[in-house]
Structure 1
Amino acid sequence: MKEEVFERYIQAGKVASTILRKGGDLIRPDVSLALTAAEVEQMVIDAGLGVAFPVNISLNESAAHDTPSPEDDRTFKAGDMVKLDLGVHLDGYIADTALTVDLGDQNLLVEASIAARDAAIAKVKPGVTIGELGTAVAAEIGSRGYRPIANLTGHGLDQFRLHMGPNVPNVGGIGGAVLEEGMAIAIEPFATTGTGYVNDQKRVEIFSQMAWKPVRMPTSRKILKEIEPLNGLPFARRHLKTPKPDLSLLRLVREGVLHAYPVLADVPGSYVSQAEHTMIVTSDGCVVTTA
């Protein structure tokens, strides 16, 4: 990895770490999810960096991909388990980091995902397989009586690419991709009181462009023009200034131009915790950019 690229990852990580902590402090009972998301994203903009994806605020059994809608009136409630997942980029080089705020009494579940993340990070170095990382994650979560979410993974990062190989599993395994010096990866264990699997929900607020081709509807063209500066990074419906975008969003998804990200959730009544850091693999370990 070139030195200037490394420094961009480091700078993005420092900003993301600071804002994530400030964002976590905003999460209290009766506080608006919409205002929290807007304030966190504005902190990123005020710092002179880019929002790499809409801030995810996922409650209780929801693990990922929830973000407020334009008309959202939800507030945090006592007893909620809140996942705050933040992405920041500098010239497309991304820091992806997350924490869980427990508004109830499930500290051990929060601890499980943190311990799993840290155990996996301790193993990161060139030559280690992703299976070894998943084994470390699963052991920490299982030892506390919870399940890792098997169909969610950490992931590699590259310029303007939020999710790419290698995928970093949250369950044990043998072999798999081998870590190499210069890789940028995000490790993000999810611990759950539920089944250990998430499913797509009806709620969809996040999209990204996956194909670049002509479209006919004027509103669709406006949306694509509006998101062009994102270089394919995800956006939220609430980010759009194009009026009445819903029909065009659906059409763009059907035409394969946009990818939709449904909310991912375990079974109703369960609770999910998440912890995440971004790191660069070095010759003898790694540098955690979001610590």
Structure 2
Amino acid sequence: MDIDKQKIIQAGKIASQVKAYARTMVKKGMPLLEIAEKIEAKIFESGGKPAFPVNLSIDNIAAHYTPSHDDTALAHGLLKVDIGVHIDGWVADTAFSLDLENNDENKKLIKSSEEALENALSLIKSRIEVNEKNKVNDDNKVGSSINSSSSGRASDFAGAGNVLDKRGREEGGNDLIGLDEIGKTIQETIESHGFNPVANLSGHSIGHYDLHAGVTIPNTDNKSSLKLKEGLYAIEPFATTGNGKVHDGKPSNIYYLLNEKNPRSQIAREVLEFIAKEYKSLPFCSRWIVKKLGSRSLFGLRDIESNGNLHHFAQLVETQSTKVSQSEQTILVEKDKITVTTV
């Protein structure tokens, strides 16, 4: 599928602006519900739509906490703010962590994930852009050699062409970057600060109306033989004071649509029709459904979940109940450059 670069860049710009707004708006003691609603309202005001419910995950909850419509929890501790924006299904995904306790360990943990992200982006940029520049220089040298040749034999040109073809396949472009190299950089950076990367959380490829499009960008050196290809990706280091693992916790009230199999009740059919039209395959939350369709819609939501129409995400919790920090940017990888869309 061809990408819409203009909409990708536009979504990233909005996400960056909303992230800057959230950094200054969020304060200790604010209701998480108020924070989520303000961030999501800002996305709409800026010309985008939320690509998923704002995640506001505290301390040992690594991801997938969004407040319900009647949530009373308050912001505190080490708060991770994960924001998604889309323009017609083209997504920007970005996250940051806040220390709301003026705690030295929190600050160090946040710095480790931020630095891991910076180093991963620097690695990708250097390998793509420097190698593409070297490839162009090498191609120019081959071309000069051909032009200066006096033999004029067809085999000289054919041979040079084969050299260029081989170089393009084996040396040029993004195939040079192993996903394991990105993971190794993230892992080594976090460990250099005395913490552990969360091994079973990762970055991911992004497709059209598809937040997790199948490719995993590891946060550890997983020895993968896969290479980074052109496309849209979220680079997303998580660091922890624990052993580097998360497990499923409580239900998150975040869902995505699996199918449109017809449920029995009328309210369930109405809710399903609304979800399919409004969110397609992107994640949504019960809070949004209540806001649009009223509290009665919760009965319909439960019906379509039991009917097998929905995937219900669990909160992701650090296995030793220790703190987790998160930092994330979205990148557009092209043949000869990368663009960080969410800065």
Indicate whether the TM-score tops 0.5: yes
| Counterpart residue type for residue 206 of structure 1 | I
CA distance in structure 1 between the aligned counterparts of 2:268 and 2:320, rounded to whole angstroms: 35
Deviates more, 1:260-269 or 1:242-251: 242-251
Q: Name the CA shift for 1:216/1:242 in 2 (closer, same or farther; >3 Å).
A: farther
Q: Residue by residue, what CA displacement relative to the aligned partner does 1:144-178 show, whole Å, maximum 9, x if unpaired?
A: 11111111111111111111121111111223321
- In the TM superposition, 1:196-235 aligns within 5 A as 196-227=244-275, 228-235=277-284
Q: Residue by residue, what CA displacement relative to the aligned partner does 1:223-255 show, whole Å, maximum 9, x if unpaired?
A: 112212211111111111243344543443343
1:29 positional shift: 1.5
CA distance in structure 1 between the aligned counterparts of 2:258 and 2:249, rounded to whole angstroms: 21
2:272, 2:304 within 8 Å by CA — same for their partners in 1?
Answer: no
| Counterpart residue type for residue 121 of structure 1 | L
1:215 positional shift: 1.5
Q: TM-score if structure 2 supplies the norm length? A: 0.80
| Residue 265 (structure 1) aligned with residue 310 (structure 2) | no
Q: Which runs of 5+ in 1 are unaligned?
A: none
1:117, 1:276 within 8 Å by CA — same for their partners in 2?
Answer: yes
- In the TM superposition, 1:28-43 aligns within 5 A as 28-43=27-42
Q: Residue by residue, what CA displacement relative to the aligned partner does 1:237-276 show, whole Å, maximum 9, x if unpaired?
A: 1111243344543443343310111110104641110000
Which of the two has higher C-alpha Rg? 2
1:166, 1:177 within 8 Å by CA — same for their partners in 2?
Answer: no
**1:86 pairs with one of 77, 83, 86:** 83
**Higher relative helix content:** 2
| Counterpart residue type for residue 111 of structure 1 | K
* Alpha-carbon RMSD: 1.6
**1:155 pairs with one of 195, 204, 208:** 204
| Residue 280 (structure 1) aligned with residue 332 (structure 2) | yes
CA distance in structure 1 between the aligned counterparts of 2:342 and 2:38, rounded to whole angstroms: 20
**Higher relative strand content:** 1
2:269, 2:300 within 8 Å by CA — same for their partners in 1?
Answer: no
Q: Residue by residue, what CA displacement relative to the aligned partner does 1:68-116 show, whole Å, maximum 9, x if unpaired?
A: 0111111123xx0000000001111000000001112121100111111
CA distance in structure 1 between the aligned counterparts of 2:335 and 2:252, rounded to whole angstroms: 41
Percent same amino acid among aligned pairs? Answer: 34
CA distance in structure 2 between the aligned counterparts of 1:194 and 1:247, rounded to whole angstroms: 39
Corresponding residue SS for 2:56: strand
Match of 1:192 in 2: 240
Aligned pair count reads 287
Match of 1:57 in 2: 56
Q: Which runs of 5+ in 2 are unaligned?
A: 129-173
Deviates more, 1:277-286 or 1:9-18: 277-286
CA distance in structure 2 between the aligned counterparts of 1:268 and 1:38, rounded to whole angstroms: 31
